[in-house]
Structure 1
């Protein structure tokens, strides 16, 4: 945990040019960083995972509040025209921050480039780079859903 704390404090200083107050956090950013370090409940990981959070929403308020999910896979090689809907959608990784690909017309996609892009994205774990604990144990998957 000391390494996590060091990286989080360093990243905060690097982006804001001031020290991070973890003993008595006052600002929203300080409180978020405190949570990154000290709130390690499983719900944090479930809500960070764009697929697993769907189960949470469905259990709490019902599936009517979920955006339709068209496709799910752990294998980017399954990104083929047959698995993409004929209507506009977004393809994204369940653990990623940004990086989604909006599909307006699946017939215009460069599928080789799409698969390569997502092969790289599936290898990234935000815990390792930013010490965001909630991402540490997410199993990377690809989702295609309505936007």
Structure 2
């Protein structure tokens, strides 16, 4: 029984620490890129927990964290998108940045993708279409 007690105490302690860390962050609608490291560190911590340990994180804390994580991924995506010229001004020199943005999007889970606005996604597809057009002209 001692082993189970230690495992239980550790799980409860980790869940409480996780909850406290989530509580220190602003609400998702007030989140900025300044909190990127904090949110990414929390994701690393959460993903490093066993399913048993994760089970001690209450549903409200988990829902808040999922929203913060998705919002942050959206902010990172939109920031990267803003660094790329518009489709009208795009050149083949921007191809790698556009490909990196697509790779970023494709690496998101289905839930995380719901945080990316339709407008941002449409901008990405427009950039990809423009790159394809520029490549055809370059042939």
The structure showing larger relative contact order (alpha-carbon pairs under 8 Å, at least 6 residues apart) is 1
Q: Which has the higher strand share?
A: 1
Report which of the two has the higher share of helix. Answer: 2
Is the TM-score greater than 0.5? no
TM norm structure 1: 0.28
Asked which structure has the greater CA Rg, the reply is: 2
